[in-house]
Amino acid sequence: MKSALRIFFLKYRRIFIIATHLFLVGLSYYAAFLIRFDFSLPQPYLGAFLKTLPLLILTKLVLFYYFGLFHGLWRYVSTSDLWQIIKANFIATATFIILNVFIFGLSSFPRSVFLDDFIICAFLVGGIRFLTRLLRE
């Protein structure tokens, strides 16, 4: 049974990795909004969150793919992988800010969410890799 589960996981590993990143990006963005508003998200900002979430996910996943974050084995993660995560996340956040300004404007958007999301996302994406390595060792 363990062998069949391992074969299934290896066959669909890339899909699992992308789904994990999708979840972590969404979670970090939501957490950034919650932190900004003391864990009580007001209704107008919930609309801003939902309106910009697809753009953020698309931006981050495309740039994470470009930087090769969907390749490699997490059990062999190193500090060079962490630098790739930070670079990819920084460029994705900067791109998201630019796109957000041109598409939606920033008049009703809390700017601290950008920095909070960058920090949380870097910790989550890097943390899950290092946790995987820690559990394997």
Mean pLDDT by 10 residues, the chain (137 residues): 69 84 95 92 86 94 90 71 91 95 82 94 90 78
* The total number of residues written for the chain in this structure: 137
Contact 90, 97 (CB under 8 A): no
pLDDT given at position 136: 75
pLDDT at 99: 93
Task: Output the pLDDT for position 2.
Answer: 62
Neighbours of 81 (CB within 10 A): 19
* pLDDT at residue 36, rounded to an integer: 92
Q: Which pLDDT value is given to residue 68?
A: 85
Contact (CB, 8 A) for 89 and 118 = yes
Q: What is the pTM of this model?
A: 0.85
Query: In sequence order, what are the residues at sequence separation of 6 or more whose Cβ sits closer than 8 angstroms to the Cβ of residue 18?
Result: 61, 70
Measured CA to CA in angstroms, residue 24 lies from 7, 41, 47, 108 at distances of 25, 19, 20, 25
Q: What is the pLDDT of residue 74?
A: 62
Tell me, what's the pLDDT at 43?
85
pLDDT of residue 132: 80
Q: With contact defined as beta carbons under 8 Å apart, do 92 and 117 qualify?
A: no
Please report the pLDDT score of residue 55 as a whole number: 94
